[in-house]
Amino acid sequence: MSDVNESFLELSGITKRFGDFVAVDDINLKIAEGEFFTLVGPSGSGKTTMIRMLVGMDQPSDGEMRLKGQVMNNLPANKRPTCMVFQSLALFPHKSVGENIEFSIKIAGQDKAARRTRVNQLMEQLRLPLSYYEKSVMQCSGGERQRVALARALAFDPDILFFDEPLSALDFRLRKALEKELKDIHRETGKTFVYITHSLEEAMVMSDRIAIMRQGRIVQVGTPHEIYNYPKNKFVAQFMGEVNTLAVKKSGKNKVKVVGGDDEFTVLDDLADFTTGFLIIRPEILKIGKAAAKMKNRIKGVAYNDYALGSRVQYQIIIDQFEEHWLVERLQDEPYEGRRGDMVEIGWQPADSILVSE
């Protein structure tokens, strides 16, 4: 992957308005050549509008989009070195697997022999049997159709492939398999992938970098590790998964107090410029029962319920002075030794909490 500063794809001040409604608001972004970059956010965050502008289906109201230094704002979709894999896949139901894959290069004028050679290469790369060339695409499974759609996009040899939630309609097992396949294909082809999804899990598994969108703006950009471990605000922290969140205010050096309460906790953060914010504690770092006794920060509550999550167990703890129930996760082989209804202590070390703004 190229250094992101080389500006393979660069967006400067990109804004999209529909009447008085601002769907995308002043986006500035650089994507490197060969990067797997994912836009993720809740419904209505602007990610689909963003990708429609990038592929040429819509034009920005303001700002500039550049690919390899060339302004793309007014370049028609069919003139751009890009290709889109839609959520619906948009395959031709009356055509065979091979005919679907070769469609773009047939339009480009390649002869039959060259087309067949290219299709065979792509079918092997996408793990589609060569015998499927004549098979009706409607006789293929959901996973096979996904591979056909991706092969068709790669046949055009685009500089960038855009993906509009292509896995969202698949069952869990197939989706997990295709997440890994897409990441493998990205590595094998060296192409630039720009992917949009509402699934945080997809973004974490596949991406080199992730951009979190909210209300038309990019809230944070970073690697999966950076986004998960160093969220910039409460929205990002909560969007990244289940967390325990406390509204807190500064109460002393390395000390914060729960807003509206007396509980005080130690943090490692520099509180020089901190007044109020939120303390984020992820369920998986909390200790419960005897293990909590060694923790710097501790609090007591009632064990309300427990939930089996495969290799983990999640415990729900009621703490009277807090509005929301707390969640604690442990591995199956290190369970909490108590029972529902017991008073239990939970705790964490100062280094394991995250202090964020609104």
Rg (CA), the chain: 25
Q: Which of residues 201, 234, 267 is at a domain's end?
A: 234
Contact 267, 255 (CB under 8 A): yes
Residues 171 and 267 in one domain: no
Q: Which of residues 205, 234, 263 is at a domain's end?
A: 234
Number of domains composing the chain: 2
DSSP 167: T
For residue 150, what pLDDT is reported? 87
Q: State how far the Cα of 257 lies from the Cα of 239, in Å rounded to an integer.
A: 24
**Angle of helix 172-189 relative to helix 112-125, nearest 10 degrees?**
120
For residue 335, what pLDDT is reported? 65
Contact 36, 186 (CB under 8 A): yes
For residue 1, what pLDDT is reported? 60
CATH code (residue 295): 2.40.50.140
Give residue 185's identity as a one-letter amino acid code. I
Sign of CA dihedral 43, 47, 50, 52: negative
Residues 190 and 295 in one domain: no
pTM for the full predicted model: 0.86
For residue 25, what pLDDT is reported? 97
Residues 255 and 169 in one domain: no
Residues 187 and 289 in one domain: no
Which residues, at least 6 apart from 207, have a Cβ–Cβ distance to it below 8 Å? 36, 37, 38, 195, 223, 224
Residues 305 and 351 in one domain: yes
> Which range of residues forms the domain containing residue 216?
4-234
Which residues, at least 6 apart from 259, have a Cβ–Cβ distance to it below 8 Å? 247, 248, 249, 276
- String of DSSP letters for 183-230: HHHHHHH--EEEEEES-HHHHHHH-SEEEEEETTEEEEEE-HHHHHHS
Q: State how far the Cα of 292 lies from the Cα of 348, in Å rounded to an integer.
A: 7
Residues 178 and 300 in one domain: no
- How would you class 210 by CB atoms within 10 Å of its CB: exposed for 0-12, middle for 13-18, buried for 19 or more? buried
For residue 323, what pLDDT is reported? 75
Residues 123 and 269 in one domain: no
Residue indicated by tokens 């601002």: 22
Question: Digits of tens for pLDDT over the chain (358 positions)?
Answer: 655 556 799 999 999 999 999 999 999 999 999 999 999 999 899 999 999 999 999 999 999 999 999 999 999 988 899 988 887 778 899 999 999 999 888 888 888 899 999 999 999 988 899 999 999 999 998 888 888 988 998 888 899 999 988 887 777 887 888 888 889 889 988 999 999 998 888 899 999 999 999 999 999 999 999 998 899 999 999 888 889 999 999 998 889 999 988 899 999 877 878 899 999 999 999 999 888 999 999 999 999 998 888 888 899 999 987 877 889 988 877 767 778 889 999 999 999 999 998 7
- String of DSSP letters for 68-125: TTEE-TT--GGGSSEEEE-TT----TTSBHHHHHTHHHHHTT--HHHHHHHHHHHHHH
Residues 169 and 221 in one domain: yes
CATH code (residue 86): 3.40.50.300
Q: Using a CB cutoff of 8 Å and minimum separation of 24, what contacts does 180-188 make?
A: 180/205, 181/127, 181/147, 182/150, 182/206, 183/36, 185/125, 185/126, 185/150, 186/36, 188/125
**Residue 55, both tokens:** 């592929």
Residues 219 and 249 in one domain: no
For residue 257, what pLDDT is reported? 94
For residue 185, what pLDDT is reported? 86
Residues 114 and 174 in one domain: yes
Residues 157 and 262 in one domain: no
Sign of CA dihedral 193, 197, 201, 204: positive
Q: State how far the Cα of 183 lies from the Cα of 33, in Å rounded to an integer.
A: 15
Residue 55 is inside which H or E element, if any?
helix 47-55
**Residue 348, both tokens:** 């964490």
Residues 87 and 171 in one domain: yes
Q: Which of residues 211, 234, 257 is at a domain's end?
A: 234
